[in-house]
Every structure is written in structure tokens, then in C-alpha cells.
């Protein structure tokens, strides 16, 4: 009897490999977080950190500034990095599997540029917001862009078409952002500075408010994504196979894409368009797991995403201390080339599938 492809064969979900990888990554994230909590403007000892975290009253009276640093500056920043990275990691898996495309990344599909455009308009003409949260506005813009993509793609036959559409959307919305910036009245140039912060993701100005506005999206979207794991596994096999497996491929794809956008929108709104994490994390996760089973890949990819963003922010914050380099710079300079190398190494068959 011929062996079934790995994705079809039934395997117990919590594999040993998954557990090892996940625990290892978690340990890395925790270690990096602790290091992050302790270092910076004033370096803290282990006991100071634990006290600041778990015994706020005592810490406040003994060492008010350090406690403030740890609790209100460093902690939300770490949490935002973890939440943002994890969201991007999951979104990447959803996009790549549902579109059957190794390059399906919010940045390369033009979704980040749409978001940037919205942010540019909102930063320079704040009155257009009329009380709508930026998250929601970005999500709406992304959904519109996603509908454009899907409506022109038609059925997913090969990876090229969608990539070309993404390139065109990217060029178009980048140009539109330019137009908005060039036409900005002089008295509104503070808006441009605000926009620039969004062009490349940065965690420098994160507050607890940002964390609380990001967290609910992740909490709701990740379980939904895991529920969609079966659909993703079927979509990986192609639309015909998905149909044979009892799935309406187009409907499932739309639902999954909206989910992916719901995961990226809050990140873009609060941290900025962090590039390439959503592209690289799933590829690395599949490599570590030697499997492309969507749920497992999502778990590992979210941890990897969190680790990447946290590492990028740590580098940005502490490498040239006291000069701060936005986290987005490191994701572009380090993760971008890694993605080129990793995707380029795949053989044609693997890229096409």
C-alpha cells in the first residue's frame, strides 16, 4: 500500500518534536524577556526584577524609578513584541497555506502598504477617523485589498499570479502614500513624523494601552485559526482535493484571509508594518517540525514570530544603547536576507506546491 503524504496521515497532535521545539522556543522567549526587563537605562538585578513584577507595593516604595521602568516601560514593550510577533507568525501560516504560496506575506501581498496608506491619511488628517479606532479602519482597508486580490485571482492555480497582484498593489499604495505625504499642508507635518514611525515598525512608544488594544484580537483569532487548521491542511493539497475533502475552498479561503487580516491589523496599528516575520516564521517552523500540518506549524510559527520580534526589539534597544534603532530595521536587515536564502533554496517543486 503506498504511503500517504505526511499531511494526510493521521498523527497524534502533540508530537514529541512539537513539544521539544515549543518548549525550547518558550525558554528562549522567557530568557530574552528577563534579560530585557533587567537591562537598559538602569540595570536591575534578578531580585529587583522579581520584586518589581510580583510585589509591586514593596518595589514602589524601595525603588520607584526602576519599578516604573520595569512595570510601565519594559514590560508592556516585551508583551507587545510577543503578541505582535505571535500574531504575525500565525497570520503567515494562514496566508501561505490558504493561498498555496511560499511568498504569501502581508508585506508582499500589499496588505501592509494598504495599512500604511490608511495610517498616513489618519496621521495627517486625523479628522477622518471620526472616532473609529485605527485598528478597525486598517482592518477594513485590508479587507478591501484582500477582496481585490481574491476577485482577480480567481482560482488558485499557481503561485505567480497572486504574487504579481501583490506587487502591483504594493506599488500602487506606496505611490498613494507618497501622494498624501507630498500634498500634506505644512502645518500638518507633525503628522508626517508620526507616519514615518509607522513606515517601519517600532516598539519604542508602546504603552499598556497598546498592549490591551492588541491582546483581545490575538486571544480571539488564534483559537479560530487553530479551528481552521483542518481547512488549511486541505487547502494545501489544492482546491480539487479540498473539495473532495468536503470543503468549499473559496469560502474557506475568504474566511481564513479575513482571520489573517484580523491578526495583522492590530499589529500594524500599534507597532507598525513589521516586515518579513510573517514570511520567515512559517518556513522555519516547517523546517523545525519537518511537517506542514497547519496547527502544529501555527503553534511553532507563533512562538518563532514572538521570538523574532522580541529579538529584533532587543537588538534595536540595547545594541547601540543609548541610541535606539527601530525593531523594523532589524527585521528588514536580518530576516529579509534569511527569507531570500530560505525560500531560494527550496527546489522548484516545493516552491510551486
Partner 1 sequence: MTATATPTAAAPSATAAPAPRRRPGRAYAVAASSLVGLVVLSVWWGTGSVMLTPAAAWRALVDPDDAERIEVIATNARLARVVMAIGVGAALGASGALLQALYQNALASPSITGVTQGAVAAAVVWLTFGGASSLDEATWIVPLVATAGGFGAGLLTYIAARLGGRTDPLRLILMGVLVGGVLASITAVTILASGDLGQELIRWTTGSLTGTTWTKVRLLYTGLALLTPLVIISLPLANVLALGDNLAQGLGQRVEWARGVVLFTSAGLVAAAVSFVGGIAFVGLVAPHLTRRATGADLRRHLPAAALVGAGMVAAADFVARNVVPIDVLRWLGVENPQVLASAVPAGIFLALLGAPYFVIILRRTRT
Residues that bind partner 1 (CB under 8 A): 102-103, 105, 107-108, 148, 152, 154, 157-161, 163-172, 174-176, 178-179, 181-183, 185-188, 192, 196, 199-200, 275-276, 326, 328-329, 332-333, 336-337, 339-341, 343-348, 350-352
Give the residue with the Cβ less far from partner 1, 148 or 318.
Answer: 148
Q: What's the chain's Rg over C-alpha atoms? A: 21
Q: Which residues touch 63 (CB under 8 Å, ≥6 apart)?
A: 48, 52
- How far is the C-alpha of 212 from the C-alpha of 234, rounded, in Å? 34
Choice between 43 and 151, CB closer to partner 1? 151
Classify the C-alpha dihedral 352-7-258-283 as positive or negative: negative
Q: How far is the CB of 147 from partner 1 (least distance, A)?
A: 12
Per-residue cell: 99: 493561498
User: Coil, strand, or helix at residue 10?
Assistant: coil
Instruction: Please say which residue, 201 or 228, places its beta carbon nearer to partner 1.
Output: 201
CB contact at 8 A, 268 and 118: no
The distance of closest approach from Cβ of residue 171 to partner 1 in the complex, given in angstroms and rounded to an integer, is 4
Q: Taking the complex as a whole, how short is the minimal distance between the CB of residue 335 and partner 1, in angstroms?
A: 9
Residue closer to partner 1 (CB basis): 21 or 103: 103
The number of CA neighbours under 13 Å toward the Cβ of 20 is 5
* CB of 349 vs partner 1, minimal distance in Å: 9
Please state the closest distance from residue 25 (CB atom) to partner 1, in A.
25
d(CA 340, CA 3) in angstroms, rounded, equals: 32
- Kindly tell me which of 177 and 314 has the beta carbon lying closer to partner 1: 177
Contacts of 321 (CB under 8 A, 6+ apart): 40
Q: Supply the minimum distance, in Å, between the C-beta of residue 14 and partner 1.
A: 33
Instruction: Find the length of the chain.
Output: 353
Residues whose CB is less than 8 angstroms from the CB of residue 293 and which lie 6 or more positions away in sequence, other chains included: 6, 7, 11, 229, 233
What would the grid cell of residue 225 be? 485559526
Nearer to partner 1, 180 or 225 (CB): 180
Amino acid at each position: 500500500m503506498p504511503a500517504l503524504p505526511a499531511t494526510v496521515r493521521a498523527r497524534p497532535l502533540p508530537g514529541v518534536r512539537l513539544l521539544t521545539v515549543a518548549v525550547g522556543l518558550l525558554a528562549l522567549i522567557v530568557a530574552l524577556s528577563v534579560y530585557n526587563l533587567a537591562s537598559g537605562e538602569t540595570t536591575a538585578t534578578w531580585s529587583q526584577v522579581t520584586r518589581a513584577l510580583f510585589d509591586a507595593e514593596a518595589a514602589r516604595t524601595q525603588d520607584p524609578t526602576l519599578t516604573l521602568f520595569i512595570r510601565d516601560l519594559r514590560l508592556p514593550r516585551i508583551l507587545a513584541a510577543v503578541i505582535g510577533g505571535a500574531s504575525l507568525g500565525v497570520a503567515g501560516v494562514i496566508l501561505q497555506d490558504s493561498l498555496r504560496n511560499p511568498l504569501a506575506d502581508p508585506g508582499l501581498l500589499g496588505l501592509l502598504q494598504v495599512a500604511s496608506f490608511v495610517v498616513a491619511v489618519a496621521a495627517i488628517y486625523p479628522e477622518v477617523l471620526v472616532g473609529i479606532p485605527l485598528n478597525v479602519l486598517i482592518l477594513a482597508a485590508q479587507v478591501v485589498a484582500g477582496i481585490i486580490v481574491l476577485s482577480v485571482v480567481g482560482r488558485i492555480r499557481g503561485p505567480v499570479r497572486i504574487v504579481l497582484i501583490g506587487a502591483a498593489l504594493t506599488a500602487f499604495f506606496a505611490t498613494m502614500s507618497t501622494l498624501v505625504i507630498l500634498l500634506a499642508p505644512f502645518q500638518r507635518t507633525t503628522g508626517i513624523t508620526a507616519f514615518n514611525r509607522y513606515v517601519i515598525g517600532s516598539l519604542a512608544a508602546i504603552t499598556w494601552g497598546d498592549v490591551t488594544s492588541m491582546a483581545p484580537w490575538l486571544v480571539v483569532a488564534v483559537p479560530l485559526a487553530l479551528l481552521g487548521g483542518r481547512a488549511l491542511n486541505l487547502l494545501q493539497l489544492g482546491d480539487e482535493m479540498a473539495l473532495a475533502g468536503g470543503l468549499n475552498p473559496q469560502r474557506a479561503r475568504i474566511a481564513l484571509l479575513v482571520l489573517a487580516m484580523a491578526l495583522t491589523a492590530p499589529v500594524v496599528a500599534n507597532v507598525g508594518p513589521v516586515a518579513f516575520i510573517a514570511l520567515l516564521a512559517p518556513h522555519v517552523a516547517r523546517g523545525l517540525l519537518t511537517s506542514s500540518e497547519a496547527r502544529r506549524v501555527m503553534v511553532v510559527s507563533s512562538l518563532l514570530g514572538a521570538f523574532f520580534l522580541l529579538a529584533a526589539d532587543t537588538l534595536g534597544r540595547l545594541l547601540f544603547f543609548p541610541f535606539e534603532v527601530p525593531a523594523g530595521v532589524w527585521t528588514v536587515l536580518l530576516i529579509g536576507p534569511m527569507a531570500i536564502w530560505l525560500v531560494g533554496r527550496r527546489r522548484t517543486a516545493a516552491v510551486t506546491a
